[in-house]
Structure 1
Amino acid sequence: MRILKYILLLILLALVGITVYVATQKGDFEVSKSSVIKTPRTTVFDYINDFKNWETFGSWIKKDSELKFNYNSKTIGAGAKSFWKSSANEGDIKTYFVKENDSIAQKVNFNGTTALLSWTFKDTIGGTKVTVHSKGKMDILTKITTFFKGGINSILGDTYEKSLRNLDKTLNYEMKTYSIKVNGIVQRSSGFCLKQTVSCHIKNVSKNIKILMSRMVRFSTKNKIVLAGKPFVLYNRYDIPNDFATISVCIPVRQKIFISPESDVASGEIIAFTCLKTTLVGDYSHTKEAWSKAQKYIVDNGLKQNFAGNYTEVYVKTIDDVKQPSKWITEIYIPVFPKVEAPKPLLVNAPPKTQPVELPPTIVTPTETP
Structure 2
Amino acid sequence: MRILKYFFLLILLLLIGITVYVATQKGDFEIVKSAIIKTPRSTVFDYVNDYKNWETFGIWMHKENNMKIEYPTKTAGVGAFSSWKSDFGTGAIKTYFVQENDNIYQKTNFNGTNATIFWKFKDTIGGTKVSVLCKGKMDVLTKIKIFFKGGISSVLTDVFEKSLVKLDKTLAFEIKTYSIKVNGIVQRGSGYCIKQTVSCKIKNVSKNIKIILPRLVRFFKKNNIKMVGKPFVLYDTYDLSKDFVTFSVCIPTEKQIFISAVSDMTTAEIVPFTCLKTTLIGDYSHINEAWKKAEKYIVDNGLVQNFAGKYVEVYVKTIDDVKQPSKWVTEIYIPVFPKVSVVQPLVPVIKTEAQTVEPVSTPAEIP
TM-score by length of 2: 0.95
Aligned to 2:55: 55
- Residue 127 of structure 1: aligned partner: 127
The match for 1:95 is 95
Return the offset for 1:247: 1.3
CA distance in 1, matches of 2:143, 2:338: 70
- The secondary structure found in structure 2 opposite 1:60 is coil
Asked if the contact 2:34–2:132 (Cα under 8 Å) also holds between the matched residues in 1, the reply is: yes
Q: CA deviation at 1:62?
A: 2.2
SS at match of 2:321: coil
After superposition, give the CA deviation of every residue in 1:147-194 in whole Å (9 maximum; x if it has no partner): 000001110000000100010000000111000000000000000111
Alpha-carbon distance in structure 2 between the residues aligned to 1:16 and 1:34: 38
Specify the alignment match of 1:287 in structure 2. 287
CA apart distance, 1:214? 1.8
Distance in 2, Cα, partners of 1:239 & 1:201:
9
In structure 1, distance between residues paired with 2:293 and 2:341: 23
Deviations 1:70-120 (A, max 9, x none): 222222211111111224321111111111111111111111111110000
What's the CA shift for 1:253? 0.8
What secondary structure sits across from 2:78 in the alignment?
Answer: coil
Determine if contact 2:178/2:281 at 8 Å carries over to the other structure: yes
Residues in 1 aligned to 2:291 and 2:134: alpha-carbon distance in whole angstroms? 41
CA contact (8 A) 1:235 1:312 kept: yes
Q: Structure 2: which amino acid aligns with 1:68?
A: K
Tell me if 1:232 matches 2:232. Answer: yes
What pairs up with 1:83-232 in 2 under 5 angstroms? 83-232=83-232
Corresponding residue of 1:6: 6
Which ranges in structure 1 are unaligned for 5 or more consecutive residues? Answer: 364-370
For residues 356 and 153 of structure 1, what CA distance do their matches in structure 2 show? 96
1:171 counterpart SS class = helix
Please report how far the alpha carbon of residue 354 of structure 1 lies from its aligned counterpart in structure 2 after TM superposition: 4.0
* Structure 2 unaligned spans of 5+: none
Kindly provide the amino acid, as one letter, of the partner of residue 280 in structure 2.
L
2:284 maps to 1:278 = no
Alignment RMSD: 1.7
2:5 and 2:108 mapped to 1: Cα distance?
45
Alpha carbons 2:350, 2:358 under 8 Å: kept: no
The one-letter amino acid paired with 2:95 is T
Match of 1:72 in 2: 72
Kept in 1, the 8 Å contact 2:280–2:329? The answer is yes
Aligned partners of 1:344, 1:78: CA distance in 2, in Å?
64
Deviations 1:302-334 (A, max 9, x none): 111111111000000000110000000000000
Question: Could you tell me whether the CA contact under 8 Å between 1:67 and 1:89 is conserved in 2?
Answer: no
1:267 aligns with 2:264: no
Retained in 2: the 8 A contact 1:75–1:211?
no
Report the Cα distance in structure 1 between the residues aligned to 2:259 and 2:27, rounded to whole angstroms.
53
Q: How many angstroms does 1:141 deviate by?
A: 1.4
Q: Which residue number in structure 2 is paired with residue 42 of structure 1?
A: 42
Separation in 2, partners of 1:110, 1:273: 53
Q: Secondary structure at the match of 2:285?
A: helix
Counterpart position of 1:324: 324
SS in 1 for 2:142: helix
Rounded to whole Å, the distance in 2 between the matches of 1:356 and 1:319 is 67
Q: Distance in 2 between matches of 1:205 and 1:353?
A: 73
Letter in 2 for 1:326: S
> Structure 1's 358 and 222: CA in aligned 2 closer, same or farther, altered over 3 A?
closer
Q: Could you tell me how far 1:223 is from its partner in structure 2? A: 2.3
TM-score of the superposed pair, with normalisation by structure 1? 0.94
Which residue of the partner structure matches residue 82 of structure 2? Answer: 82
Q: Report the counterpart of residue 16 of structure 1 in structure 2.
A: 16
Identify if the C-alpha distance between structure 1 residues 17 and 63 changes in structure 2 by more than 3 Å, giving closer, same or farther: farther
**Between 325-334 and 61-70, the greater mean CA deviation after superposition:** 61-70
**Whole-angstrom CA distance in 2 between matches of 1:252 and 1:237:** 21
Distance in structure 2 (CA, Å) of the matches to 1:191 and 1:3: 86
Q: How far apart, in 2, do the equivalents of 1:64 and 1:36 lie?
A: 29
Q: Aligned residue for 1:313?
A: 313
Label 1:119 to 1:5 Cα distance change in 2 as closer, same or farther (>3 A).
same
Identity within the alignment, % = 68
